[in-house]
Amino acid sequence: MKLSRRGFIVSAVAAGAVRTVPQIAAKTGGRRILTLVYDKSLGMMRAVERLVP
């Protein structure tokens, strides 16, 4: 898999979000909605998680 600079940055930010989002969700309460989207920069599907109060 070819990973461009932009793709690397996006994947690094996503990995960081995976670690922080559960902590935020536990504090605020509410529902989490998971959506799969196609990311053109990565060239593949990725999961986007939204918090809904």
Segment 11-40, tens digit of pLDDT: 788 777 777 666 665 666 677 788 888 888
How crowded is the C-beta side of 52, counted as CA atoms within 13 Å? Answer: 7
Whether the model clears a pTM of 0.75, i.e. scores above it, the answer is no
Select from 52, 45, 27, 53 the least CA-distant residue to 14.
45
